[in-house]
Structure 1
Amino acid sequence: MTTTQAPAPDELAALRQRYDLERERRVRPDGARQYLGTDAEFGYYAADPYAGEPAGREALHDTVDVAVIGGGFGGILAGARMRQQGVERVRIVEAGGDFGGTWYWNRYPGIHCDIESHVYLPMLDETGYVPEWKYSPGEEIRRHAMRIAQKYDLYTDALFSTAVTSLTWDAASETWIVATDRGDAFHATYVVTATGTLTEPKLPGIPGIETFRGHTFHTSRWDYAYTGGTPDGGLTGLAGKRVGIVGTGATGVQVIPMLAEDAEHVYVFQRTPSSVDVRGNRRTTAEDIGADQDGWARERRENFLRIVSGETADRDLVADGWTASAGLLEKLLPSFRREGQGPAFEAAYEVADAAKMNELRTRVERSVTDPGTAEKLKPWYRYACKRPTFSDKYYPAFNRDNVSLVDTADTHGIERVTEHGVVVGSDTYELDCLIFATGFSVGVSGVHSGKLPVHGRDGTQLLHAMAQEGPRSLHGFTSNNFPNLIRMGSLHNASSVNFTHVLDEQAVHAAALVAAAEAGDALLEPSRASEDAWISVMAKDAPDHEWFHAGCTPGYYNREGLGRPNSPSAYPHGAVAFHELLKQWREESVDEVLRPRTVHRDSTVTPDGNGS
């Protein structure tokens, strides 16, 4: 936990009251229903601005060994680890025009990762790449995704600008039929779903949004044809333009300073301010981070994972805002191993939390010259209520004459959009451009959104089964009635602020499962008893964080103020322990998920690869 000056008991009481007041100002009865998807009339918000109209091609009806749904880091890592296990035909199907996932779609001005690049970028040891910056810009990350795909020959069978529309188990051939929106219906012996947790852009359901006559877009589909410039800035198309931006989360914090440099005027519409800590980005060299040593990147990311998961470490290799405040992530990650329990722990936690938030609020006062604006930018909630953000440019942007902060807490957001601008209370703001930095529907990927129906053994529909009985799996990867289907993601798995590390461990596990099935001429499918046992493990020590998040200001961590569900959705003992559990299980108990095939075939997978 942080070591700044501890607040007195009367200050803690006052803070609790202030936090409750600020929460009540922002809670809306419609909760998450306040947002719109990008279907139907708003579909153009999700269109691909980078690839253009996809080139025509013949529909595919062939057979591959492994089909991976999703071309972000999860899918790329799954493909790479499959290659290391000797899998010959790996086909990645991706809705975007190239690899990269969220880094393909998000190319807005100022975009950087908020996790240190040397631990965030996967497979640095394998590719020999050393990031140029402590916190990589988006383009460096996107190019690294492509670098991995090229190294492991994932472009050969990839299908881009293609969305999978259904997965159907074919019992006669014991393969999956993968159907797409391009007319494909090919077979795959194994399917890995890696559709991510931040894939569906969301828009605020503001009355009149469809009537606005100015220019508008979502930050995940940045329109450089209109703004000019690049992710590095130079938005010359905004000269003389009045620009409104909705949203002050991690995206808004990065975009707003860039808009301020070129637009005539920027109106920042804020419901809840982010906590914004020091960024301190800088160029790095191989010598800075010990990249001349074998396995340097694995050591560094393991060190980071241990610290942010509450484990002990001899030293802090990353030494940034995340690791300095790691103890305060306990309410965000079920992975923190408490040193104490009960009232004494909670009391100490609250004191450390208040000290850190006081430090961040003091930073606002010292950075923003106008007291009224500074007060509106102060985060009045506890540290783990929202994902922390980091910037050295955000607060100074509000000292510019051409930037105005419009607080919408008391009106629960923008009240309505007109043909020429937006209305907040008694004020109307005329705009030429309205930008939505409103994020994504968290955790709503293809399978969980219903856009990707999965029909398993005897026609069992995955989403229907989950609705009937709740999520069932073994380790989050495989489920009964869905042979040879491996799911990647956060459900029933480990969690960490550095999700690419978690994804890589998942990819290693997925590839090992395929190798084991091939070696045993078997299908991958756990029994219901195995699922029951895993669900019991998940539930036994699940931390009770619902009360904490119910007291937070609304956001995606607490279902827009409705409280965080206290279901056992992640392994309760942390990512470090979970990865060790998986490794041991692979060595001792992988036969638990192997079932005899009824349709035999020649193996194309060599089970002695180095990915396990």
Structure 2
Amino acid sequence: MDDQNNFGAQSTLSMPAESIPVESIPIESIPVESMPFESMFIKSIPIDLTSTPATNWDNQSQLILSFESMPIESIPVDLTCAPTTISDEGVKLQFDPKVIEKKYIEERDKRLRDDGIDQYVRLDQERQSDLYAGSPSPRDPIKKEVDFLIMGGGWGGLLIAVRLIQMGITNIKIVEKAGDFGGVWYWNRYPGAACDTESYIYMPLLEEMGYIPVEKYAKSPELRKHARAIGTKFGLYDKALFQTELLALDWDEESKRWAGTTNRNDNIRAKFVATASGPLHNAKVPRIPGLETFKGHSFHTNRWDYAYTGGDTLGNLDKISDKRIGIIGTGATSVQAIPHLAAGAKHLYVFQRTPSSVDVRNNQPTDPKWVDSLTPGWQKRRMENFNTIVTGGHADEDLVGDNWTDIIRKLSVLGGKNQSTASADNAAARQLADFQKMDEIRARIDNTVLDPATAEKLKPWYNQFCKRPCFHDTYLPAFNNPNVTLVDTDGQGVEKITEEGIVAGGKTYELDCIIYATGFEFVVNHTNKSSLTIRGREGLELSEKWKSGASTLHGLHSRGFPNLFIVSLMQSGLTPNLTHMLDEQAIHIAYIASYCVENGIEAVEATAEAENKWVQTVVELARLQQEFTKQCTPGYYNNEGKVSDVVLRNSWYGLGSPAFIELLRKWRKEGKLDGLAYETAH
């Protein structure tokens, strides 16, 4: 899996953290070099406020620079030289940038649909049942009062619980619909499932646990084992209700408590509540005509049916040697599962709408000598080093040294030495750098896939971070197998499903089994992600307040919903290493809760002014990326090409995760609960 943090990465340039104020930032003062790298598109110019006045902004709101308006000869690039090299004279390319740009636009346009995100439907509950724990064991309803109620037992819920315990808050209850801890890794057990972010920074609390992963990129069994180990070490199993769903949260103004009810008739009252259900909560499938008519077997990858395929997460699918398998989707999950399906199936048909960008993975066992060299604090330093580099900041050393950091390093080198200069040359050079990187990705396909026609269909035609990059070493070679057929739909997707199989391009493919590798709901209303209804002061429902988009302070607090912490990507920080951000949010939540306990504060919520300023900041930063996202091929990053005002409000904090983390740290250091209103005990 793509570490199941299917989120855009961050900027290729950085802003000193100490320069980020907590309050709203005027739009004309935002330096683009500190924005997430999704925003570094063909029409952006970075602004260095120390030398460039705001008048360099076109219309004072967006940076607009037509690629056609730049004389190509003004860019330090030699377009006539076949070899690709980096030198003091510039970048030598073997392609015409204007041709590439035209191709990107053509590929995007053919995939645009009027129905946008509505082309998908949530997978029905029957298909999302728990295959691993079986039916819930009977138990009596629980009636309990706790200090802190946590919804979710994935990394987010585990980290909140651990950080609360470390701050002295131990009366905790965790409600989790799965049969154990693990979150997305509990559910996703498809063959090949693994994290594509380095395990030494992705797996949380390694130093606290005294554990080192066995390899650079951990596979799903090790990730589930680690989640269970955290639960055991910190005594969380005694605090958890598994196979239980939180249905409603109602704020009791008189007692200043939340009343939580579950699908098993539990009644849990809590002073504080955190919702940490994760961004990949509900599987989705396309609205394909005839979806329910297929007479063969079918399942979604997040509920892999090993009873049908045989094998396990490591592969060895020994029950499908006589089966014709069709898999719909070629995103991060398919990239990992397809090599195993190719090895086991009689014939595998891969139905593709948009190819993924697939770079080298190069997984390696953990080096014992490296482990012996580690000193206290190593994981935090490594996490922050990675975060700095993937957001374009300066680091004397690349501690992680993987293809995430390599992508950004190459873009920075190719994009010009002076990244902070507001010039057409630098803007164009950075776009050329992206063109060059994607050209390398396509060249790798040519060098790996033997059939030229298949290789051509597997090539991605979009900017590097329009879709989440994938890293794998056996995905592309799988298409050299004689039993594997790529069915490229030329951006249109599958036409329909019949009793016999799948129709694509006017041709019917008869199948024994259809596997849906079609992802999860991503850009949806927060309360629509689960069956939970949240009612705050005066019975106001969170879904009603957020019907036009999220409204928070720091992505955690929403006025009218005291003592509620909403853990999500919306209006908060974002990094490819999701668990880093989850831990920073957990630390922040634990600080506020303990501060309230120590100071006799009964209720705390965002002020209207602080919340409005934060929303304004998020939206203004998101608008700067809007042009880029519109130019991208449709996907969950840009709401399938429909970049609405709601999507802008639901965006992440646009100055990058290091700035967001530092903002929270400074806020805590000041110790004033700035932007929060609170009520003390009488």
Give TM-score scaled by structure 2 length: 0.83
Structure 2 residue corresponding to 1:550, chosen from 614, 627, 630 = 630
Structure 2 residue corresponding to 1:388, chosen from 459, 463, 469 = 469
Decide which moves more: 399-408 or 454-463. Answer: 454-463
Q: Deviations over 1:358-394 (max 9, x none)?
A: 1000000000000000000011111111100011101
* Aligned-partner Cα distance in 2 for 1:366–1:279: 16
Shift of 1:24: 2.3
3-state SS in 2 of match to 1:238: coil
Shift of 1:25: 2.4
Shift of 1:157: 1.9
Q: Deviations over 1:193-247 (max 9, x none)?
A: 1111111100111111101111100000001111111111111111100000001
Q: Is the 8 A contact 1:304 1:317 kept in 2?
A: yes
Aligned to 2:203: 121
1:358 aligns with 2:413: no
Q: Is the 8 A contact 1:7 1:351 kept in 2?
A: no
Shift of 1:27: 2.0
In the TM superposition, what are the counterparts of 1:426-575 in structure 2 within 5 Å? Answer: 426-444=506-524, 447-449=527-529, 451-467=531-547, 470-522=549-601, 523-539=603-619, 541-542=621-622, 544-563=624-643, 565-567=647-649, 569-575=651-657
1:284 aligns with 2:363: no
Distance 1:276 1:222, change over 3 A: same
3-state SS in 2 of match to 1:109: coil
In the TM superposition, what are the counterparts of 1:252-271 in structure 2 within 5 Å? Answer: 252-271=334-353
1:346 aligns with 2:431: no
Q: Is the 8 A contact 1:196 1:443 kept in 2?
A: no
Which runs of 5 or more residues in structure 2 are unaligned? Answer: 1-11, 14-83, 413-417
Shift of 1:152: 1.2
3-state SS in 1 of match to 2:485: strand
Aligned to 1:166: 248
Distance 1:289 1:308, change over 3 A: farther
Aligned to 2:406: 324
Aligned to 1:334: none
Shift of 1:518: 0.3
* Aligned-partner Cα distance in 2 for 1:404–1:372: 11
Distance 1:15 1:7, change over 3 A: farther
Q: Is the 8 A contact 1:130 1:286 kept in 2?
A: no
Decide which moves more: 541-550 or 111-120. Answer: 541-550
Aligned to 2:449: 368
3-state SS in 2 of match to 1:479: coil
Aligned to 2:75: none
3-state SS in 2 of match to 1:560: helix
Aligned to 2:670: 588
Distance 1:531 1:426, change over 3 A: closer
* Aligned-partner Cα distance in 2 for 1:129–1:302: 19
In the TM superposition, what are the counterparts of 1:228-267 in structure 2 within 5 Å? Answer: 228-267=310-349
* Aligned-partner Cα distance in 2 for 1:557–1:540: 17
* Aligned-partner Cα distance in 2 for 1:244–1:595: 56
Q: Is the 8 A contact 2:604 2:678 kept in 1?
A: yes
Structure 1 residue corresponding to 2:233, chosen from 151, 160, 183 = 151
* Aligned-partner Cα distance in 1 for 2:667–2:110: 49
1:577 aligns with 2:659: yes
Shift of 1:85: 0.8
Aligned to 1:606: none
* Aligned-partner Cα distance in 1 for 2:239–2:443: 54
* Aligned-partner Cα distance in 1 for 2:515–2:394: 43
Decide which moves more: 244-253 or 418-427. Answer: 418-427
3-state SS in 1 of match to 2:96: helix
Distance 1:428 1:533, change over 3 A: closer
Structure 1 residue corresponding to 2:354, chosen from 248, 272, 279 = 272
Q: Deviations over 1:459-505 (max 9, x none)?
A: 1111111225x422221111221111011111221111111100000
Q: Is the 8 A contact 1:207 1:416 kept in 2?
A: yes
Look up the equivalent residue of 1:501 and give its one-letter code. Answer: H
Q: Deviations over 1:243-301 (max 9, x none)?
A: 00001000000000000111100000001110100010011134325663111111111
* Aligned-partner Cα distance in 2 for 1:536–1:397: 47
Aligned to 2:48: none
Give TM-score scaled by structure 1 length: 0.92
Shift of 1:568: 7.4
* Aligned-partner Cα distance in 2 for 1:193–1:37: 20
Aligned to 1:32: 117
Q: Is the 8 A contact 1:167 1:179 kept in 2?
A: yes
* Aligned-partner Cα distance in 2 for 1:530–1:4: 49
3-state SS in 2 of match to 1:67: strand
Shift of 1:125: 1.2
Which runs of 5 or more residues in structure 1 are unaligned? Answer: 331-336, 601-612
Look up the equivalent residue of 2:171 and give its one-letter code. Answer: R
Q: Is the 8 A contact 1:198 1:444 kept in 2?
A: no
1:425 aligns with 2:492: no
1:214 aligns with 2:296: yes
Identity among equivalent pairs (%): 45
Q: Deviations over 1:490-536 (max 9, x none)?
A: 12211111111000000000000100000111122122122233334
Shift of 1:309: 1.4
Look up the equivalent residue of 2:103 and give its one-letter code. Answer: R
Shift of 1:539: 4.7
Distance 1:541 1:259, change over 3 A: closer
Look up the equivalent residue of 2:556 and give its one-letter code. Answer: F
3-state SS in 1 of match to 2:518: coil
Aligned length: 588
Aligned to 2:51: none
Decide which moves more: 499-508 or 587-596. Answer: 587-596
3-state SS in 2 of match to 1:316: coil
Distance 1:562 1:290, change over 3 A: farther
Q: Is the 8 A contact 1:274 1:386 kept in 2?
A: yes
* Aligned-partner Cα distance in 1 for 2:672–2:543: 26
In the TM superposition, what are the counterparts of 1:61-210 in structure 2 within 5 Å? Answer: 61-210=143-292
3-state SS in 2 of match to 1:385: coil
* Aligned-partner Cα distance in 2 for 1:233–1:260: 10
* Aligned-partner Cα distance in 1 for 2:138–2:520: 30
3-state SS in 2 of match to 1:591: coil
3-state SS in 2 of match to 1:256: helix
* Aligned-partner Cα distance in 2 for 1:234–1:179: 43
Shift of 1:184: 1.1
Q: Is the 8 A contact 2:604 2:679 kept in 1?
A: no
Aligned to 2:415: none
Look up the equivalent residue of 1:373 and give its one-letter code. Answer: T
Shift of 1:74: 0.4
Look up the equivalent residue of 1:462 and give its one-letter code. Answer: L
* Aligned-partner Cα distance in 2 for 1:300–1:252: 29
* Aligned-partner Cα distance in 1 for 2:574–2:232: 28
Look up the equivalent residue of 1:201 and give its one-letter code. Answer: A
